[in-house]
Chain A
Amino acid sequence: MQDRPRRREVLKLGLAGAAVAGVVGTGILVAGNQFGEAAEEINEVYRGRRIRITAARNVYIDGLPLHVMQNADSSYSSIIDHYRTFASPHDTARAAVESLRGANLVLVSHRGHHQ
């Protein structure tokens, strides 16, 4: 899995990362995924869907929470793409947008039941 760069490196790479990402973002710092992931907030429109990632790494798609799990090797998986791993919450969110194919997330409790 990709190593997440340390904060100092992210700050250094942040501007280039934002340019590479090529999307409209309103976050303070939006790092392109080739540079790993900053812990800063992300707020972007990707393929017509609003992705928001908080500093606490909570992920929302069009305002609804995406259940994301961190794996022991520091990669991530989500309830939408459970059998794959991603380098960052940002990659996980974008993959979920692609897999959803226009559908909306539904609220699922931590017990795994619909709310």
Chain B
Amino acid sequence: MGVRKNQATLTAAEKNSFVQAVLQLKKQGTYDGFVATHNTFIMNDRDTSPRAGHRAPSFLPWHRQFLLEFERALQKVDASVSLPYWDWTADNSTSASLWADDFLGGDGQPGDGQVTTGPFAGSTGNWPIREGASDAPFLTRSLGTGVGALPTRTDLDAVLAIGVYDVAPWNSTSGDGFRNGLEGWARTGPELHNRVHVWIGGAMGTGYSPNDPVFWLHHCFIDRLWADWQSLHPAASYLPTSATTDVVSLNQPIRPWNTVTPADLLDHTRFYTYA
């Protein structure tokens, strides 16, 4: 069973193994399938119609399964690889080692926003963007421009303290529930999960956000926070527990896989652990 580590603690060899496995999935064409799946859900997950991946209680189990599928694909390339997570409350600057040349590369350049450093730079020829919202053929970023600062540990602790998993109407307007607090559809602007997408900008701000490999490290931290929340509130259940219009309840299968339910995914230690 894999151990998912904080990316700040990875050795140079571990970083390289992760990067090489990601590049191999890109070369195989497997990677772009994940990008397209994510966007299909983004476009169809609406507040007032059936929704599974976003603005819904199943935001957390949907992404847990999405990450598991991706991690299993990585492990077919290199069995030693597990997804790392990025604690953006700690490594919160544009000069963090996350953005170094030996890992994810840095900010986009002025003008077109093209990432020009690291293994995912357009000039490497290894990271063509084939599934995107625009015709930019390269990865784009715009660190810290869409919103000035990443969420803080104080922001995070306030959300982790919420005792109820989710509340009606189970969408982007749900107030006082952990899920929407973490997903971040706040009336005051993008918070938590959403704020991180906006802070990175470029591809990460679009429906095709997995085009930026940082997507997986961001969502791995979101996944870890769900587990942390469960530890803090052991009596709290996934909600809703019974059939509810438009959303996935505890024992209903989750699209597009239709093989797992939120109940199947509640205990992440069946699949991996966090270090």
Contact = CB atoms under 8 A, between A and B. Distances in A.
Interface of A: 1, 67, 69, 71-73, 79-85, 99-106, 108, 110-114
B112 A114 contact: no
The 10 residue pairs across chains A and B that have the minimum distance between CB atoms: A112-B40, A72-B47, A103-B134, A83-B197, A83-B194, A103-B136, A112-B43, A79-B207, A101-B113, A72-B173
Contacts of B140: 101, 103
A93 B252 CA distance: 37
Contacts of A81: 146, 198, 205-206
Given A84-B198, A104-B134, A106-B134, A79 B39 contact: yes
B105 interface: no
Contacts of A108: 39, 43, 133
A106 B132 contact: yes
A69 B43 CA distance: 8
B111 interface: yes
A103 B43 contact: no
Contact of B111 (A84, A101, A112): A101
A71 B206 contact: no
A82 B172 contact: no
Contacts of B48: 72
Nearest to A101: B113
Contact of B206 (A69, A82, A110, A111): A82
A80 B43 CA distance: 11
Given A72-B47, A79-B207, A103 B201 contact: no
Contact of A102 (B42, B112, B187): B112
A104 B135 CA distance: 6
Nearest to A112: B40
Contacts of A101: 111-113, 136, 140, 142
Most buried by A among B131, B187, B194, B205: B205
B46 interface: yes
A27 B169 CA distance: 37
